[in-house]
Structure 1
């Protein structure tokens, strides 16, 4: 078990989610510390996005609890959960296309209640830190898909969140863009004290990026552990990884 107390963790305990007789999540428990990266993986339809929706307040669970730094937030509205320190991105990029990169990132900070001068400084810092300051005046609609992904992540970080939930950030990226994303994400927990829970089917990215993996199948947890432990787990290989279990595995 991990040494961090619940006052420094996002936790889900015994989460159940039913939809009209279908049990999408069945007694799922998960934790994320402020200085770690955890991968949430599994086949399509296994309940990954449903769990992220519960954690972020988009869905109220049928049963179970969600806590942020020791405070119960189960069933609270997404805005309140965001103010408690948890922010998410979505499978579909949601930038403001007619605003510049700088304005998009600054809006993340302003939306979190950060003063305008501090929000401006935060946006400038993030653009420089992630090496995209040269794009600061480019409109959102003019960015490449990979660039849009990064800007969306920076907008989330600008909120000063403690936990960042990323839903398939590498989807649609080529190998070079995925490698760049890996390098940029890997530094976030130490630089910002922000834990990352990431869903992605790019196993090459997941296996190199994450300290721990949590595997769902048919709404249930079937494995937890280091990438090496999960890669060697016969149940996970049968349910999801298959040939991806090989060290040279690529995206699924």
Structure 2
């Protein structure tokens, strides 16, 4: 992703939009603003953004609905914004598929840092070799993850977790290691964050293999994917 990436700002506070646009454009991004949730689809088609900064509370269609609908057909990076810090755990539990979450009030510089961090994850990579782990197929260039031939409907964070652990079956990953993968901008987040993502990922894996614990908890340490369990 280049510095000319396009950022769609979905926010109903004009002064905040103006401030965000100022900082993002100074960082080299092209910006387009939408103030009403009902106009997002049109902007997605006409502006073709590389990332969407999406407020939770909007006139018209709300941010939750927009993100859910988007994930039915697109893996466009999304940073969700909420005014309530207690909303973060609830948003994680809803498996919306957002790549990151911000709480108001926030620093415009923090927003720029988060945007850069998320876009880095989507930089084109050399095609990765297909996974040799039994029953698992990972294609990072196509954002495709399969277990026993069944395509998994994973969020971007769940995809990265699954790819990491299946690439090294049997290796125990601490929560700190997994959090570094999810949030590479060195913010402080709690263990509950990674536990929530793992819980949601497990549900999707159990739908394919209900009789097996594909991702195992190691008490007091973290998690591992055992090739022998697949």
Q: TM-score range by the shorter chain?
A: 0.3 to 0.5
Q: Per chain length, whose mean CA-contact separation is higher, i.e. which structure has more relative contact order (CA < 8 Å, sep 6+)?
A: 1
Q: Provide the TM-score with structure 1 as the length reference.
A: 0.30
Question: What is the TM-score when the length of structure 2 is the normalising length?
Answer: 0.32
Higher strand share: 1
